[in-house]
Amino acid sequence: MPITTGRSYLAIPGPSVSPERVLNAMHRTAPNIYEGEIVDMTKGLIPDLKRVALTSQNVAIYIANGHGAWEAANLNMFSRGDKALLAATGRFGHGWAEAARAMGVEVEMIDFGKASRAEPELIADALRADTSHTIKAVLVTHVDTASSARNDIPAIRAAIDSTGHPAMLAVDAIASLGCDELRMDDWGIDVLVGASQKGLMLPPGLGFVWFSDKALEVSKSADLVTPYWDWKPRGTGTEFWQYFGGTAPTHHLYGLREALTMILDEEGLENVWDRHRRLAGSVWAAFDAWGRGSTIRLNMADPTSRGWSVTAATIPNGGAGALRRWLEAEAGVTLGIGLGMALPHEPAYQDFLRVGHMGHVNAHMTLGVLGTMEAGMQALGIAHGPGALEAAAGALLRT
């Protein structure tokens, strides 16, 4: 008999676990959207959204998922026929490129593969070759949710600056915001894309775009932008409805207020980063142990190139798929699919999985996932090295 009675656990890289107090904050009747509590509360949300991205510039809120936030960024940055340079380090880099191309933006892609991070000097080389400055922006994911690759954003900014090229730097931080260290202003980011359902601990439904004053000026002449997606009234408007292009996402805003309070005022942003770093190290230690003498491997070999919010790994010969199915059916734990590593109809699709450790996650949640994964490997006869749980526990204790 399965032992799934009790609370199930979704260990996928988004939607992440929402704290009870965030859900409780959302569990209420709709407020007056013209004056009073919701209007006053939102005035405090804007500076706190800037705090979580460490920027003093501008932010726009959209009723959308991460794909919608991509679209908002693209429409405000580009005009028809403009060109972007995109550094892809996994499926979501390709997804951003596909979205831009569908809008009429020409995209030059540097594909760094599925298991490595972007090389800043190759980005610089492409910009130096663009002597007419047709490239309007460099697009890159901070952490690609599919590959778990984490790109060195300050190094990419320095590479852009070394060329003297005027291109903006646009960063997809959907998987890293509120998980990995991220400093928009210090790192020279012009456009930052985020969403509610990962490090911000909310259900899906809100997309965010932070944009520099430089990007604001560019958007004033962008001819792709449409009234709903225009970030100017959302970021600089004077009336409440302008923040949202109409009716506010009222219940998400109540949840967002609670989540930002937890992150910024109670735990503290740098402590949040450190928690994610330690939990990620625990997961990596377990996989390193499982991999000794077996074919189990982390997708990103270099620990400094891995994001702190998600771990991508391979268990060959269909082991990853079999383990995912066993965990969900027998232990009440859901792991993420190996997105972008192979097509669903290909046998290799079953060789990959992802473990999400983002947002409202602590030691016992992470160790619980690893313990049930160990049980599943034993039940399924998947060859693995010993000592994973001891290694994971030890990694949590090290600073």
From first to last of its 399 residues, the chain has per-residue pLDDT tens of 677 778 899 999 999 999 999 999 999 999 999 999 999 999 999 999 999 999 999 999 999 999 999 999 999 999 999 999 999 999 999 999 999 999 999 999 999 999 999 999 999 999 999 999 999 999 999 999 999 999 999 999 999 999 999 999 999 999 999 999 999 999 999 999 999 999 999 999 999 999 999 999 999 999 999 999 999 999 988 899 999 999 999 999 999 999 999 999 999 999 999 999 999 999 999 999 999 999 999 999 999 999 999 999 999 999 999 999 999 999 999 999 999 999 999 999 999 999 999 999 999 999 999 999 999 999 999 999 999 999 999 999 876
**Residue 221: DSSP 8-state:** T
Q: Would you state the pLDDT for residue 57? A: 97
Q: What Å distances lie between residue 43 and 56, 58, 59, 63, CA to CA?
A: 15, 13, 12, 17
Kind plus residue range of the DSSP H or E element containing 356: strand 352-356
Query: Which amino acid belongs to residue 50?
Result: K
Closest CA to 137 of 230, 225, 218, 227: 218
Helix/strand/coil for 170: strand
Query: Which amino acid belongs to residue 113?
Result: G
207 within 8 A of 201, measured Cβ to Cβ: no
The reply to whether the predicted model has a pTM over 0.85 is yes
Question: In 10 A of CB 315, how many CB atoms?
Answer: 29
Q: Would you state the pLDDT for residue 397? A: 86
CA atoms within 13 A on the CB side of 334: 12
